Structure 1
Amino acid sequence: MIKILLDNFNPENRPFVWLTSAFVLAFIIAYQTFPTILYVAKEKHLMDEPDGRSMHSDRTPTLGGIGIFFSLVVVMTIVGAMLNTKVLMLVMGGLTILFFLGLKDDLTVLSARKKFIGQLFAALLLIVFTDTRIMGFSKILDVDVLPYWVSIGFTLFVYILIINAYNLIDGVDGLAGSVALLISVVFSVLFYNSGALSLATIAVALIGALSAFLRYNFSNRKKIFMGDTGSMIVGFLLAFFSISFISQSQINPESLYHKASPALVLAMLFYPLMDTCRIFFIRIFILKKSPFEADRNHVHHRFILYGFSHLQTTLTVVSINLLIIVIAFNMLHLNLNTQIGLLLIYGAALFYAPFIVKRKLKKSKG
Structure 2
Amino acid sequence: MEQPNFMWHELVITNASFLVCFAMVIAARHWPRLAGRPADMSAVQSAHTRMTPRTGGVSILAALLAVLYFAPREVKTTYACILFSSCFVFVAGLLEDLGFGVSPRNRLLAAIFSSLAVIGVGKIWLPQLGIPPLDHLASLWLVGVPLTLLVTAGLANGFNLIDGVNGLAGFTAITAVVSMSFIARSAGLGNLADLALMFAAGIFGFWIVNYPSGVIFLGDAGAYILGFLLGWLGIVILVQAPAATPWALLLTVFWPVADTVLAIYRRRSRKQAKMQPDRLHVHQLMMRALELLWLGRERRNISNPLTTLALAPKIVAPAAVGVLLWNQPLYAFIAMVLFSALFVSSYFMAFPALRKLLPRMERRRERRQVIEAGRNV
The TM-score range, normalised by the shorter chain, is: 0.7 to 0.9
How much has 1:203 moved relative to structure 2? Answer: 1.8
Amino acid at match of 1:271: W
Match of 1:325 in 2: 319
Match of 2:305 in 1: 311
Match of 2:37 in 1: 48
How much has 1:198 moved relative to structure 2? Answer: 4.7
Distance 1:133 1:311 in 2: 37
Gaps of 5+ in 1: 1-12
Residues 210-359 of structure 1: matches in 2 within 5 Å? 210-220=203-213, 223-250=215-242, 255=243, 257=244, 261-285=245-269, 287-307=270-290, 309-330=303-324, 336=330, 339-349=332-342, 359=353
Preserved CA contact (<8 Å) 1:100 1:229: yes
Amino acid at match of 2:251: A
Q: Does 1:60 align with 2:46?
A: no
Q: Does 1:145 align with 2:128?
A: no
Amino acid at match of 1:48: R
Q: CA 1:332/1:321 → structure 2, altered by over 3 Å: closer, same or farther?
A: same
How much has 1:186 moved relative to structure 2? Answer: 1.0
Q: CA 1:334/1:61 → structure 2, altered by over 3 Å: closer, same or farther?
A: closer
Preserved CA contact (<8 Å) 2:86 2:115: no
How much has 1:125 moved relative to structure 2? Answer: 2.5
CA deviation map 1:7-52 (0-9, x unaligned): xxxxxx83x4443233111101111111211111221112133114
Residues 125-140 of structure 1: matches in 2 within 5 Å? 125-139=117-131
How much has 1:330 moved relative to structure 2? Answer: 4.6
Distance 1:333 1:119 in 2: 29
How much has 1:69 moved relative to structure 2? Answer: 0.5
Match of 2:165 in 1: 172
Preserved CA contact (<8 Å) 1:88 1:198: no
Out of 71, 79, 84, which is 1:93 matched to? 84
Preserved CA contact (<8 Å) 1:188 1:201: yes
Match of 1:39 in 2: 26
Alignment RMSD: 2.9
Distance 1:41 1:351 in 2: 40
Q: CA 1:60/1:151 → structure 2, altered by over 3 Å: closer, same or farther?
A: same
Amino acid at match of 2:28: A
Deviates more, 1:238-247 or 1:105-114: 105-114
Q: Does 1:181 align with 2:174?
A: yes
Distance 2:72 2:199 in 1: 19
Preserved CA contact (<8 Å) 1:188 1:203: yes
Matched residue of 2:29: which SS?
helix
Preserved CA contact (<8 Å) 2:71 2:195: no
CA deviation map 1:294-352 (0-9, x unaligned): 0101111111121162233212322112222333445568662x642442224432675
Preserved CA contact (<8 Å) 1:169 1:176: yes
Preserved CA contact (<8 Å) 2:72 2:191: no
Distance 1:329 1:110 in 2: 37
Matched residue of 2:135: which SS?
strand
How much has 1:232 moved relative to structure 2? Answer: 1.1
Preserved CA contact (<8 Å) 2:127 2:144: yes
Distance 1:72 1:294 in 2: 29
Structure with the larger helix share = 2
Amino acid at match of 2:110: G
Gaps of 5+ in 2: 292-302, 361-377
TM-score normalised to the size of structure 2?
Answer: 0.80
Matched residue of 1:136: which SS?
coil
